[in-house]
Amino acid sequence: MNQLPSLEHHFLIAMPSLNDSWFEKSVIYILEDNEHGTTGLVVNLAQNFHIRDLLTHFDFTPHPESTYLDQDILRGGPVDIEQGFILHQPQGQWKSTIHLPDNLAMTFSDDFIEALSKNQAPENFLVCLGFSGWKPGQLAQEIQSNSWLTIPYNQSLLFDTPIEKKWQVALETLGISPEFLTLEAGHA
């Protein structure tokens, strides 16, 4: 099997072969892709849970002027669904932050949640519960079997596109209209 280039800082777009699965119509931001495997966060599937609920869960009183209290918490993936991960810009200084390209960062510490309660959120942020993971070679095999398409990172797709439109917009960046997708894989 040919080794694919690293997909770090790219998006995966679910194909129809993943319909009726956890990943149906998902868009995943890839955090890590190396010889140890691949890790990403689904950025377009909402929980039935909002920032206001998250703050209350951690015994923080939401700041009354916060404009993001009704923002959806996302289903980052089926692995470790109790763990929270926050993708945000700008990067900032938080206890547990991994700095990513394009002034993007991922934080997974409670000081970020406390800042949210004080109306001190970064300009752009998404909160995800859980993550998506693949063992070495597994994602490459799934891409070759027509389960995923890939596109480079796009800040507008991540932060400016409504979550219910991200899958369609991601496909459109490739010139693909969702109604023309098929379950069949093509191999030359």
Chain-centre distance for alpha carbon 172: 18
94 belongs to a structural domain: yes
148 belongs to a structural domain: yes
185 belongs to a structural domain: no
Contacts of 169 (CB under 8 A, 6+ apart): 157, 161
4 belongs to a structural domain: no
So what's the pLDDT on residue 71?
96
pLDDT in tens, 1-17: 456 689 999 999 999 88
Give the CATH number, domain containing residue 20.
3.40.1740.10
- Looking at every residue in the chain, the average pLDDT score rounds to 91
Residue 150 above 50 pLDDT?
yes
Q: Structurally, how many domains does the chain consist of?
A: 1
Domain that holds residue 62: 10-30+45-155+166-180
71 belongs to a structural domain: yes
Phi/psi at 79 (5° precision): -100, 135
pLDDT in tens, 68-119: 999 999 999 999 999 999 999 988 788 899 999 999 999 998 899 999 999 9
Task: Using alpha carbons, list the distances in angstroms from residue 95 to 61, 110, 111, 114.
Answer: 21, 8, 7, 12
23 belongs to a structural domain: yes
37 belongs to a structural domain: no
56 belongs to a structural domain: yes
pTM of the model: 0.92
